[in-house]
Amino acid sequence: MLDRVREASQEAAVCFSPEGDLVAGVVVLGIGLDAVLHTRHQPAAIATSAIPVLLGLHQIDEAFVWWGLQGHVPAAVGRVAMWIYLYIALVVLPATVPALLLWIEPARVRRWLIAPFVLLGLVTAAVILETMLTGHPRVRLADLHLAYSIGLGHGVTVIGCYIVATCGPLFLSSFRWFRWFGAANLVAVVTLAILVADGFTSLWCLYAALVSAAVAWHLRSRSSHLANPETFGTDTVVATR
């Protein structure tokens, strides 16, 4: 199992083609933007909507990585796209997800519990960024997917910290939808590790689309009941209107 996790820390399988990434990215981005339009300026809802927006842009960016490797765009464009893709996936997410949850968390006790994950996420992001800057990241065309390598040493430990930093605070949130997202994310991370280690393509695009659709549906349903003071799926009564 450790060998599988170690391999997963070196390569990440994604969608089947640049067209697949582009279509998935546009759909996910559209769903995220639609969710933003239905948040009615609710901080927690806007923060939730930012996730599919970011994931949509992430997938669109990877289409340019494909095209760079295939010679459809200049190699320099593809390399810049690769750096953007890796930066969002490996640096932005662990640094921002815990901080985002800490910012919108209404319960003081839970904020204290989430705070250590913010520090862990920042340290993990810094370690990965340092590795990227000194380890010469690479990407190659593989069988129906792209394979990334950043030369990460102690991959099991670093990836373990990455998972804890990004998934852990989700389970501590007062917002039920974040806890459900955390559970789905944890399952996805484990599944991706196994699939990548076995040479299968990732379910990332489908996973991102499904999560984004769930977010949009939830925000739409909440915004349709503005006549009643409801909570944004919290365990405690917190006004979000």
Per-residue model confidence (pLDDT) at position 221: 65
Q: Which two tokens stand for residue 241?
A: 């209107």
Residue 197 covered by a domain: yes
Residue 137 covered by a domain: yes
pLDDT at 7 over 70: no
Per-residue model confidence (pLDDT) at position 237: 43
Q: How many domains does the chain have?
A: 1
Rounded Cα distance between 93 and 57, Å, is: 13
DSSP character for 202? P
Residue 170 covered by a domain: yes
Band (200; pLDDT cuts 50, 70, 90) = very low
Geometric angle at alpha carbon 142, from 67 and 206, rounded to 5°: 75
Q: Which two tokens stand for residue 111?
A: 């904020």
Rounded Cα distance between 179 and 73, Å, is: 40
Rounded Cα distance between 74 and 60, Å, is: 17
Expressed in angstroms, the distance from the first to the final Cα of the chain is 46
Rounded Cα distance between 136 and 131, Å, is: 8
pLDDT in tens, 73-101: 999 999 999 999 889 888 998 898 899 88
Residue 192 covered by a domain: yes
Residue 107 covered by a domain: yes
Band (227; pLDDT cuts 50, 70, 90) = very low
Q: Is the dihedral of CA 27, 95, 178, 147 positive or negative?
A: positive
Per-residue model confidence (pLDDT) at position 195: 64
Residue 232 covered by a domain: no
Amino acid at 85: Y
Rounded Cα distance between 192 and 163, Å, is: 12
Q: Which two tokens stand for residue 149?
A: 């390598």
Q: Which stretch of DSSP H or E encloses residue 13?
A: none
Burial classification of residue 224, based on how many CB atoms lie within 10 Å of its CB (0-12 exposed, 13-18 middle, 19 or more buried)? exposed
- Greater confidence, 186 or 210? 186
Range of the structural domain that residue 43 is part of: 2-223
